[in-house]
A = this chain, B = another copy of it.
Amino acid sequence: MTTSTLDQTVAARLEAGGIRYTSARRAVVAALSRSVGPCSAAELYDEVGGAVPLSSLYRTLNVLEEAGVLVPHFGARSVTRYELADWIAGHHHHVVCTVCGRVEDIDVPEHLEARVGEVVEALAGLVAFSPEDHTLEIEGRCSSCR
């Protein structure tokens, strides 16, 4: 998705909720769209060159999360990372490097995702659980830390 298309998509979503799409919010969405994986507030702060102070950044993240534009990711001790929601960025899973800590997205080919879905349904059935979503994370060493 190009940045301008992304911007329009997000803009539409926010307008539908009566939420302004301000420059700080645009900056965060743009920064996330550039990233290869979820970003923490601190990382985004750097990415936007300090243009948005941390407190505003956190507020921005919360607004975008409530609007369903972003999704939080709790993959490491003590920091929450955010990424664009699946309906925007597409459904995907993560690989987490146990050495450098980096989190990267994996776009899952349909035939594999179908198998994940089957397993999820089967497992949820075992514990009388109504599955709404799922996350699969693979820990290991990334190609740089091999």
Contacts and interface: CB of A to CB of B under 8 A. Distances in A.
Given A72-B77, A126-B106, A136 B135 contact: yes
B115 A115 contact: yes
Interface string A106-127: 1011001001101110111011
Contacts of A42: none
Contacts of A133: 138-140
Interface string A6-25: 00000000000000000000
A40 to B, nearest CB: 12
B122 A112 contact: yes
A128 interface: yes
A131 B123 contact: no
